[in-house]
Chain A
Amino acid sequence: MAASAMQLGGQQVIQQRLRQWLRTCLAMVLTATVLAGCQSSAPEPSEPAPEPAATADTTPAPPAPPAEPSAFDENLNPYVPGTTRLLARTFYFAYDRTVISPDDLAALEMHATILRNNRTRSVFIEGHCDERGTREYNLALGERRGDEVRKFLISAGVSPAQIETVSYGEERPEDPGHNEAAWARNRRAIMIYR
């Protein structure tokens, strides 16, 4: 996973900040401190990375409608670059946590690459929670989860204009069950391409 996380989209200049961030994440993977330990990195100083200047200046995707037919399926869902396997679009979180799992960084990095290479595409990120805890608190927690994914993408060079987030809190479970397995499936962020 670490290797693929490094396969960054060619022409894009990687910001110093992103490098540092990825390095921190890598370190986390390597030290293999299990999920419980991930909390330590939670309150990163909140300020989202300064947005990489407005989007307009770079060649504004000229009139070439069939952008990259091979990158997406008919439902606009992206493939793992260079394959016909769909890229994971749902990312799960630990109970009460909003930190992205190190296991998801590679896939998220691929999403960032795809979005950087397809500036006309945008993504809608939904944040969700399990049913434990109060509903309004969970609405806030779901927003945090969506925001973590958003921040990752922005720090990886995706334009903020390509990203929208919404929290559904615990209102839209993926699994209607009331047990650990269902709860684990419900704590998630989902990326919906448009």
Chain B
Amino acid sequence: MSSSWRLILLWTLTLLAAGFARAEQSLDTIIIDAGYDKQTKIAIVPFQQGPELAHLQPISDIVSFDLARSGQFAPADDENMLSYPRTKEEVFFRDWRILGVEYLVIGNTKTDMLGNLSVDFRLFDVFNEREMVADVVSTSRDKWRDAAHRISDQIFEAVTGIPGAFSTRILYVLALNAGSPDASFRLEMADVDGERARTLFSSNEPIMSASWGPDAKRVAYVSFETGRPAIVLQDVATGARELLTQFSGINGSPAFSPDGQRMAMVLSRDGNPEIYVMNLADRSLRRLTRNQVIDTEPSWSEDGRSIIYTSDRGGRPQIYRQDLSNNIVERLTFQGDYNARARLLPGGKHLVFVHRNNGIFHIAWQDLERDDVRVLTATSLDESPSLAPNGTMLIYATQDQGRGILAVVSIDGRVKYRLPSSAGDVREPAWSPFIEAL
């Protein structure tokens, strides 16, 4: 494995377009290490973009940056292109083969007087001289970036066979003046490339543990706005908030079930932190753990039939899995004396979690069948891993020069990028599920 962190691309996008009033709050995305030896060479030809759209960031740039962040693609530089085809007829595969380009994308953008946007694009396999995708993305003009990310998703899936997750979003907590008496906290939501950050909730009291509903329309988090931790539900579109639980003691770690009907949480109302599952329809509670130790950080299996959580019932925090039908508990982690806040990968055979090794906290991956543990991160104080819905990457919180930043690592540990914020300390990222509607 290459030990040097190559700064291959510094891409600070300060979007000043109208409608993105909070652009100054966006995260700066910096690719640190696109660690694959053989990246797929792709050329995204600049799309035709009329003068009325000239102030917007070119769609080809947004798509190129999406694909570059995956670590699997090396987008070609515009300046090296021998031609800028707009139509299928203008494509000369030989021009692209000379450059070693394996895949080619061309496209055009159109708007009408009503503010509708349509982007047609085509993906070609250069060596086989074959058109792989031809599609039109139609939406409203204010969803310019969404249209670009949808195109990235389709290209990624057509080439790799894995659904792209570029149209997803992240939640995170932005702490201003962290550690001082006038600290304030914001729950932020941004595109997964760090752009279009906006504030869902702000408070002078801490905000923690944000998580997404399975439809990405609702979020849940812990807010100290009442002076004590409470679990809050919030509708993303309307901003409507509801205090879900305010029991005495801890109200923490909200986690929606995969069907969105239930929520796992931690309550210490009976004197000790225990895992509960709430039926969201009637608010009834089922208690899953019953002991004198710390049980916390529940997370659901994909099928909703079991919950994994952190418990120090063995003396140190380790990960356990409890079957909801028969309450049988199984310990999952054995290497090291601190394993916490685990998440199961799609398929349920692998786990990512916070792992302490020689006093340093890293994000680790474990194969549950072979008990094989791999440390994915090399920074320190790494925490809060959250998986992309396609399982290829995870976002986590770490520190850089004393500052809280977000970082992304591929599930094999080879691709890394960082998302610092110039606004303050950022932490506790939560990667959204796939988002259906454009």
A-side interface residues toward B, CB under 8 Å?
43, 46, 48, 131-137, 139-141, 143-144, 166-169, 171-178
Subset of 23 A-B contacts with CB under 8 Å: A46-B271, A133-B383, A134-B297, A134-B340, A134-B341, A134-B354, A136-B208, A136-B209, A136-B296, A136-B297, A137-B297, A139-B252, A139-B273, A141-B294, A143-B249, A143-B250, A143-B273, A167-B229, A168-B206, A169-B208, A171-B206, A176-B180, A177-B402
Q: Which residue of A lies closest to B353 (CB)?
A: A134
Residues of B within 8 A of A167 (CB): 229, 250
Q: A110: shortest Cβ distance to chain B, in Å?
A: 26
Q: What separation, in Å, do the CA atoms of A166 and B229 have in the docked complex?
A: 8
Q: Is the interface of B mostly helix, strand, loop or mixed?
A: loop
CB distance from A39 to the nearest CB of B (A): 10
Q: How far is the CA of A168 from the CA of B207 in the complex (A)?
A: 10
Least distance between B182 CB and chain A CB atoms (Å): 12
Contacting pair A133 B297 (CB below 8 A): no
Cross-interface CB contact of B228 among A133, A136, A166, A174, cutoff 8 Å: A166
Q: Looking at chain B, what size class is its interface with the partner chain?
A: 35 or more
Contact between A137 and B341, CB atoms less than 8 A apart: yes
A143 CA to B269 CA, complexed, in Å: 12
Q: Is the CB of A175 within 8 A of B179?
A: yes
Q: How far is the CA of A82 from the CA of B310 in the complex (A)?
A: 48
Interface residues of B (CB under 8 A from A): 178-180, 183, 206, 208-209, 224, 227-229, 249-250, 252-253, 266, 268, 271-273, 292, 294, 296-297, 310, 317, 338, 340-341, 354, 356, 361, 381, 383-384, 399, 402, 428
Apart from A46-B292, A168-B206, A169-B208, what 13 extra A-B contacts exist at CB < 8 Å?
Answer: A43-B292, A132-B381, A133-B340, A133-B361, A133-B383, A134-B384, A136-B209, A136-B296, A139-B250, A139-B252, A140-B266, A172-B206, A173-B178
Check if A137 sits within 8 Å of B180, measured CB to CB.
no
Known A-B contacts A133-B340, A137-B296; the reply to A178 vs B402 at CB < 8 A is yes
Chain A residue nearest to B340 (CB atoms) is A134
Q: Give the chain B neighbours of A172 by CB distance below 8 A.
A: 183, 206
Q: Which residues of A contact B356 (CB under 8 A)?
A: 133
